[in-house]
């Protein structure tokens, strides 16, 4: 029996081309592994058959949708994760769960290597290989498309010559990655940042400029985790799916950004992440209501570092685990209801309440009944500004 290599298979151009190359170059039988992370509209059985048609000796499909939502999206939401303040880590979050199953299946089959279809320019090659190295250091990682230096147009030609059942063509050259947290689109005419995205590019969101009546939805959180919509309990996966539909109808979560890739180049990416952006907006509002000022301020820096680590493929790193411990501790009192108004491409917080709220109406009000002792402020300001006053006196003497 020939040795085996387990390939992370998406059903797209790069991994379809990769099956034949792997077998020819290594002599190993290729096992395709497709992981369902909520791609939306993708028939996983169709992907499995496509892998076999492309030459895989076996095709394994894993339904990881709830695992992805509970174990990867929830930590990201608790961290309000946005790379460079804008990108909700759509692809970066799916790679560690795929790598986890990649390593697991390889071990179960006794394979000594795994493979992926990433190019040498992207972040995902690092994310897959760093995750596998952390989980199964004995495994070797192979990247057939990268190692052959195939460009997308050459890969299309190769696929056509070998009659591989793929959807890309010279007329449709986009590279698309999607899961339940969002959708990422790159390449083609988008490589020129001056070119505006066209409406046909989008799938998860509708045109926000089209007039329509706004919708309101109330999201309930328990210890930082979304648990209900409009008072009805749902799983995290179901909440994300429902908000993708509702917020997507209003064009919420369209993002057009030039981001700094890990490999050192800038890349123009178009994302749509309606549920992600709506939930982050709601979660941040609830934190503002329930977290102490200094915790909230400090957490913003932790969130940035957390997002950088995940973007850079270090989900399983020691620092990431330590930051998770801090973030989890901050979520103890992040429970309550946030009302969102969805309209015109925006999710706007219009109401917030929590039994754990630190907002004290009697202290905050300017009306009669105010319990804040304003006479204390004068002395407080004098002490607060004393270091500045002393240093200013010194500077004037110089």
Architecture of domain 178-353: Alpha-Beta Complex (3.90)
> What would the two tokens of residue 271 be?
């994302």
Tokens of 265: 């180049």
Query: CA 186 to CA 269: how far, in whole Å?
Result: 5
**Which residue among 14, 29, 312, 337 is the active-site one?**
14
User: How far, in Å, CA of 293 to CA of 363, rounded?
Assistant: 16
Predicted confidence (pLDDT) per residue in 335-345, tens digit? 999 999 999 99
**How far is it between the farthest Cα atoms of the chain?**
86
Q: Give the domain ranges of the chain.
A: 4-171, 178-353, 361-397
Tens of pLDDT along the chain (398 residues)?
A: 679 999 999 888 878 888 988 888 899 999 999 999 998 777 899 999 999 999 999 999 999 999 999 999 999 999 999 999 999 999 999 999 999 999 999 999 999 999 998 888 889 999 999 999 999 999 999 998 787 666 677 778 878 888 888 765 555 667 889 999 999 998 889 999 999 999 999 999 999 999 999 999 999 999 999 999 999 999 999 999 999 999 999 999 999 999 999 999 999 999 999 999 999 999 999 999 999 999 999 999 999 999 999 999 999 999 999 999 999 999 999 999 999 999 999 999 999 999 999 999 888 888 888 899 999 999 999 999 999 999 999 999 87
- What are φ and ψ of residue 268, in 5° steps? -90, 125
The CATH label, of 1.20.1270.360, 3.30.420.40, 3.30.565.10, 3.40.50.620, for the domain at 4-171 is 3.40.50.620
Which residue ranges are tagged as binding site for L-citrulline? 87, 123, 127, 175, 259, 271
For the entire predicted model, the pTM comes to 0.93
* Residue 14 bears catalytic tag: yes
- From the candidates 95, 146, 152, 183, which is the catalytic residue? 95
* Secondary structure letter of residue 263 according to DSSP: T
Q: Which residue has the tokens 């992926």?
A: 116
To 10 degrees, the CA torsion angle through 226, 232, 236, 242? -110
Q: Is 328 a residue of the active site? A: no
- Number of residues that make up the chain: 398
CATH number belonging to the domain at 361-397, selected among 3.90.1150.10, 1.20.5.470, 2.60.40.420, 3.90.870.10? 1.20.5.470
């Amino acid at each position: 029996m020939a040795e085996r290599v387990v390939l992370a298979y998406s059903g797209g151009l790069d991994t379809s081309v990769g099956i034949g190359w792997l077998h020819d170059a290594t002599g190993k039988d290729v096992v395709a592994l497709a992981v369902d992370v909520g791609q939306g509209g993708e028939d996983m059985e169709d992907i499995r058959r496509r892998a076999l048609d492309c030459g895989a000796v076996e095709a394994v499909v894993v339904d990881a949708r709830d695992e992805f939502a509970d174990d990867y999206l929830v930590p990201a939401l608790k961290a309000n994760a946005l790379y460079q303040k804008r990108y909700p880590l759509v692809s970066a979050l799916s790679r560690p769960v795929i790598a986890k199953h990649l390593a697991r299946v390889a071990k179960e089959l006794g394979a000594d290597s795994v493979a992926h279809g990433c190019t040498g320019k992207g972040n995902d090659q690092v994310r897959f290989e760093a995750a596998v190295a952390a989980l199964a250091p004995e495994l070797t990682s192979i990247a057939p498309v990268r190692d052959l230096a195939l460009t997308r147009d050459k890969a299309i030609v190769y696929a056509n010559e070998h009659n591989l059942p793929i959807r890309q063509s010279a007329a449709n050259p986009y590279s698309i990655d999607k899961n339940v947290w969002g959708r990422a689109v790159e390449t083609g005419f988008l490589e020129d940042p001056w070119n505006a995205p066209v409406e046909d590019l989008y799938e998860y969101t509708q045109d926000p400029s089209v007039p329509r009546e706004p919708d309101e939805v109330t999201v309930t959180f328990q210890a930082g985790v979304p648990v209900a919509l409009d008072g009805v309990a749902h799983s995290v996966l179901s909440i994300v799916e429902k908000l993708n539909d509702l917020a997507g109808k209003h064009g919420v979560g369209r993002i057009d950004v030039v981001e700094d890739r890990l490999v050192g180049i800038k890349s123009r990416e178009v994302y749509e992440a309606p549920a992600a952006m709506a939930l982050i907006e709601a979660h941040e509002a609830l934190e503002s209501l329930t977290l102490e000022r200094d915790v909230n301020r400090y957490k913003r820096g932790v969130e940035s570092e957390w997002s950088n680590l995940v973007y850079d493929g270090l989900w399983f790193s020691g620092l990431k685990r330590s930051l998770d411990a801090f973030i989890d501790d901050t979520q103890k009192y992040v429970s309550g209801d946030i009302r969102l108004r969805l309209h015109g491409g925006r999710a706007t917080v219009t109401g917030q309440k929590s039994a754990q709220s630190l907002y004290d109406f009697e202290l905050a009000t300017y009306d009669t009944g105010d319990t804040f002792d304003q006479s204390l402020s004068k002395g407080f300001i004098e002490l607060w500004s004393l270091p500045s006053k002393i240093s200013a006196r010194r500077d004037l003497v110089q």
